[in-house]
Amino acid sequence: MTITHLQDTVTLNNDVKMPQFGLGVWKAKDGDETYAAVKHALQHGYRAIDTAAAYKNEESVGKAIKDAGVPREELFITTKVWNADQGYDSTIRAFETSLEKLGLEYIDLYLIHWPVKDKYNDTWKALERLYNDGKVRAIGVCNFHIHHLEDLLSEAKIVPAVNQVEFHPLLTQEPLRDFCKSKGIYFEGWSPLGNGRLLDNASIQAIADKYNKTVAQVILRWHLQNDAITIPKSVTPSRIEENAAIFDFELSAEDMNAINALNKDERTGADPDNFNF
Ligand SMILES: NC(=O)c1ccc[n+]([C@@H]2O[C@H](COP(=O)([O-])OP(=O)(O)OC[C@H]3O[C@@H](n4cnc5c(N)ncnc54)[C@H](OP(=O)(O)O)[C@@H]3O)[C@@H](O)[C@H]2O)c1
């Protein structure tokens, strides 16, 4: 599969099309920082934005969306229900708050942010209702291990469209990726650059030199060729552009394998079996 453009989409299990590449905004400060980053990305051709209630920047994302001049139907906006809001009624309320902050009439993808024990199945029922009411075009989860997904699927009426989890060359998640594929759940990676910590990796630098690309570009290209949806975060205009310039080269099978082999099952974020927030 050759990916030729940063607006190229993948097809989710309900036939909704989602851009395979987008901008993440975790840690982007509410106000000018988020506003300018999102607006720059959209004007540069990005079409997908990944935010969350917990990032506390939905209002700035919404303002940038309004001002960027891109028709709403061309955009794909993801937000997430935070842990403290999980449960049926509180999730419906949290969704309405996010919708209002974003200034939108619908969300493209609404995700459970973390698998809060004894809560996520009720939360999922709320997402199913929002989906059936037409307020969100697709629903999914984040940070679900295989056992969380098996548990959810045993009660769910709707199979999650997406599982968004930490994914990068030091955490290649092969069993989870295979499981998601077998269930029709699209695999989406967060912290594709290891939250910036992978950018001085000497092995990837050697590969990047061969293609005249940066380490960030090689890592993001590796995500695309692994059929993952990717959402690198940057608030720096030149990096927003650099990260999107990955549609004009293809990593060889040998280089893909060399990057796959860097796996150490090493997380930069919390383990979904052991988080305390
Ligand atoms: N569902 C979840 O639980 C979850 C958890 C974590 C993240 N996410 C999502 O995934 C997105 C991406 O993950 P992330 O923000 O953790 O980290 P990331 O995208 O792996 O890395 C972002 C960091 O790398 C820097 N950077 C970006 N492009 C660069 C480049 N070309 N050269 C050098 N440095 C570069 C950024 O700096 P500047 O911004 O200063 O340019 C920032 O410090 C998040 O923003 C969020 O939307 C979801």
Rounded CA-CA distance 95/127 in Å is 9
Using alpha carbons, select from 139, 141, 144 the residue that is nearest to residue 173: 144
Q: Which atom of ligand 1 is nearest to the CA of 52?
A: 47
**Dihedral, 227, 231, 237, 239 alpha carbons, nearest 10:** -50
Site residues for ligand 1, CB cut-off 6 Å: 24-26, 50, 113, 142-143, 164, 190-196, 199, 216, 231-236, 239, 242-243, 269
Which residues on neighbouring strands pair with residue 194, listed in sequence order? Answer: none
pTM, full prediction: 0.98
Cβ proximity of 271 and 243 under 8 Å: no
Active-site residue, 120 included: no
Rounded CA-CA distance 212/191 in Å is 23
How close is the Cα of 191 to the center of ligand 1, in Å?
5
Q: Give exposure, 209-242, as e/b (b: 16+ Cβ within 10 Å).
A: eebebbbbbbbbbbbbbbebbbbbbbbeeebbeb
Q: Per-residue pLDDT for the chain (277 aa), expressed as one digit of tens each?
A: 434 588 999 999 999 999 999 999 999 999 999 999 999 999 999 999 999 999 999 999 999 999 999 999 999 999 999 999 999 999 999 999 999 999 999 999 999 999 999 999 999 999 999 999 999 999 999 999 999 999 999 999 999 999 999 999 999 999 999 999 999 999 999 999 999 989 999 999 999 999 999 999 999 999 999 999 999 999 999 999 999 999 999 999 999 999 999 999 999 999 999 999 9
